[in-house]
Amino acid sequence: QVQLVESGGGLVQPGGSLGLSCTASGTIFSVNDMGWYRQAPGKERELVAGITSRGTTTYAGSAKDRFTISRDNARNTLYLQMNGLRPEDTAVYYCKANLGIAFNVRRDYWGQGTQVTVSS
């Protein structure tokens, strides 16, 4: 059983900080590209930040300079540190990972989602 488990969501005041984590478990040969996505009510799911297996990062314009994506390959864990949070950051956040689960077999997996609410 391969799964991604997220944690760290919650309620935070505007300007506050929150850290998310996502850990992959199961029979995993490799953890390749990973990323954080979010989906607000009535909106499409969008990429927030991505990171390759070598550590190259990309950010959505709204996340750049406020969010930091990182990974711990030894623990198969993805992180998202969010600072200077705004109400418009409110959404369900999902982690995504491309995992090697067998020889020459790679699949995309999604976490269950964690709610981030920014409100005073």
Give residue-wise pLDDT tens across range 82-103: 999 999 999 999 999 999 999 9
Nearest to 63 by CA among 78, 48, 85, 51: 48
The whole-angstrom separation of Cα 23 and Cα 13 is 26
Percent of the chain whose predicted confidence (pLDDT) is above 70:
100
Q: CA dist 94 to 7, 31, 103, 105, 111, Å? A: 10, 16, 26, 23, 6
* pLDDT band at residue 1 using 50, 70 and 90 as cut-offs: confident
